[in-house]
Chain A
Amino acid sequence: MNRKLDEKLIELAFGDLPEEEATRVVGEASQDPEAARALQDYRDMRDGLRKLSDIPPHQLSNERLRAAILNRGAAKPARPAGISWLWMPAAAAVLTLGTLMIRQMQTPTVEPSVAIKESTNPLQIPDLDVPVAGGTTFDGATMATKAPAPDITESAPRVADAPTTSSANRIASAARRSPRRSIETRPKAAPKVDDTPISADMVALASNVGNRIADGSGARNEAAPAPMTMAGATAMRAPAPTPKTPIIIIEAETDALTGAQRATEVDNASNVLVGG
């Protein structure tokens, strides 16, 4: 008996053949004793399997299942996949916030004040080597007649604001653009040169402006060195820094190695005058 016929006999015995094909296979098996015997064996096996229904009752209980689940440590059902991803954006937000806070704590709270080279006499208007028309030099006692006043960049000393590296760089780079100047802080528009000699009132006014800035009153750049409109040697006291205000002094001389102007940091501005 071939394998294909054997498969048909199995399907016939278990009722898996269509009626027409079943009739054909029955006829074929009746003519082959071996096929007939196989068909009978399969039918007996089918009947015997159907009688295998005497299964003893089970003793499965809810309590037993619950205990098994708890013992396995599967106290909670598995959460849908979507919820398990929520921790990622939350972790990212916490990480970002922490990074920002750390960066804020590391950077100083105030921009360094840019000042001219330290002088022993705080009242003495410093000697600025500012080129002026006619070859005269600015001796500090008078204001430069034609020399443009120092520029105030957007990072003008604002005591209340935290200085940033970029602002310090702007100050330094501004200083480099004008190698003869120690200060490079003023609005972009070049102020008109005023050749009025410095008076005590002007000094007081400049001090008040500086103090306003130091108070953190939120004075904007426009309020800061208004003395810049009076070009040159306005003796303005540097804004009284907070106890921990770092002050960077950019010197007029350049470094022999790098070509950049030297800068030094001082703890307080008691002996520092700011002018231009």
Chain B
Amino acid sequence: MALDGILTMRGSMVERMDTDSDVALVRRAREGDYAAFEMLFERYRTLVYRFAYQMVPRRDDAEDLVQEAFVRAYQNLDRYRDEAKFTTWLLRIVTNLCTDQARMSTRRQALEQQEAAGALDWMTIGDIENPIENLEADRRREVLRKALAALPVHHRSVIVLRDLEEREYGEIASILGCTVGGAKLRVLRARRALRDRVAPFLGEESR
């Protein structure tokens, strides 16, 4: 595979550096090359936005979250270590931002939980003579989305990372700053919590 790269010699080793790799772009951005940082932004803004949208299911909020994450990344480029993937670092920033937001707006979260609970009322209050209508796929999906939004941040983030973004447990562990075993346990607990919220309503359909 041909790469646009620079061949460098280090002793007996030949090291090939891709000038457009994340590591190279970060290095150039640190030296003042803002265009390199813009390349990183264009490369990963959609991925980060998808994650952010799942965390705060409102487009404007998700965009603000993404923008804030990249601004902080730019301000703290010297803290980025090449050992971890750049996306891992970005997603960690977004996760921390969501956690901070959640702490500052606990009341808002409580309201969201109430809203999520209220969104499920139609399942019991609705027309029981036509339960099939109540089981439309889009409504089911909406229920699930509301329940996910009502989860605490630490549960919601791992559900999004593992079950929506399909990240590996190793990367999730890096993002959360825990072990792989710890990441698996967190995902397990989050799934159980989500099921506890939706099972009473989804379970009715199948019974």
Residues of A within 8 A of B162 (CB): 14
Contact-size category for B: 35 or more
**Do A48 and B144 contact each other (CB < 8 Å), given the known contacts A14-B163, A41-B195?**
yes
**Do A41 and B45 contact each other (CB < 8 Å), given the known contacts A10-B192, A74-B75?**
no
CB of A32 to closest CB in B, whole Å: 16
Segment from A63-71, A92-100, A130-138, A191-199 that makes contact with B: A63-71
Residues of A within 8 A of B191 (CB): 10, 14, 42, 45
Interchain CB contact under 8 A, B41 and A62: yes
Q: Specify which of A6, A37, A41, A55 is in contact with B53 (CB 8 Å cutoff).
A: A55
CB of A263 to closest CB in B, whole Å: 62
**Do A40 and B206 contact each other (CB < 8 Å), given the known contacts A45-B198, A65-B67?**
yes
Other than A45-B191, A48-B140, A66-B34, give 4 A-B pairs with Cβ distance below 8 A.
Answer: A40-B206, A52-B164, A60-B66, A69-B71
Residues 127-152 of chain B, each 1 if its beta carbon lies under 8 Å from chain A, else 0: 00000000001001100110010000
Q: Specify which of A50, A51, A62 is in contact with B42 (CB 8 Å cutoff).
A: A62
Q: Specify which of B31, B75, B141, B203 is in contact with A41 (CB 8 Å cutoff).
A: B203
CB of B119 to closest CB in A, whole Å: 14
A-B contact count (CB 8 A): 112
Output the nearest chain B residue to A3 by Cβ-Cβ distance.
B192
| Residues of A bordering B, CB below 8 Å | 6-7, 10-11, 14, 16, 37-38, 40-42, 44-46, 48-53, 55-56, 58-60, 62, 64-66, 68-69, 72, 74, 76-81
CB of A8 to closest CB in B, whole Å: 10
Q: Is B89 an interface residue (CB 8 A)?
A: no
Residues of B within 8 A of A16 (CB): 184
Q: Lowest 3 A-B CB distances belong to which pairs?
A: A78-B78, A48-B144, A58-B49
Q: Specify which of B49, B137, B198 is in contact with A60 (CB 8 Å cutoff).
A: B49
Output the nearest chain A residue to B27 by Cβ-Cβ distance.
A80
Output the nearest chain A residue to B196 by Cβ-Cβ distance.
A41
Interchain CB contact under 8 A, A78 and B79: yes
Jot down 26 A-B pairs with beta carbons below 8 A, ordered by A. Answer: A10-B188, A10-B191, A14-B163, A42-B195, A44-B202, A48-B141, A48-B202, A49-B148, A50-B164, A51-B137, A53-B164, A55-B54, A56-B53, A60-B49, A60-B66, A62-B42, A65-B38, A72-B75, A74-B71, A77-B31, A77-B74, A77-B77, A77-B78, A78-B75, A79-B30, A80-B78
| Residues of B bordering A, CB below 8 Å | 29-32, 34, 37-38, 41-42, 45-46, 49-50, 53-54, 59, 62-63, 66-68, 70-71, 74-79, 137, 140-141, 144-145, 148, 159, 162-164, 184, 188, 191-192, 194-195, 198-199, 202-203, 206
**Do A7 and B188 contact each other (CB < 8 Å), given the known contacts A37-B203, A49-B164?**
yes
Interchain CB contact under 8 A, A58 and B45: yes
Residues of B within 8 A of A11 (CB): 188
**Do A56 and B145 contact each other (CB < 8 Å), given the known contacts A69-B74, A74-B74?**
no
Interchain CB contact under 8 A, A45 and B202: yes
Residues of A within 8 A of B145 (CB): 52
Q: Specify which of A40, A50, A53, A79 is in contact with B78 (CB 8 Å cutoff).
A: A79
Output the nearest chain B residue to A16 by Cβ-Cβ distance.
B184
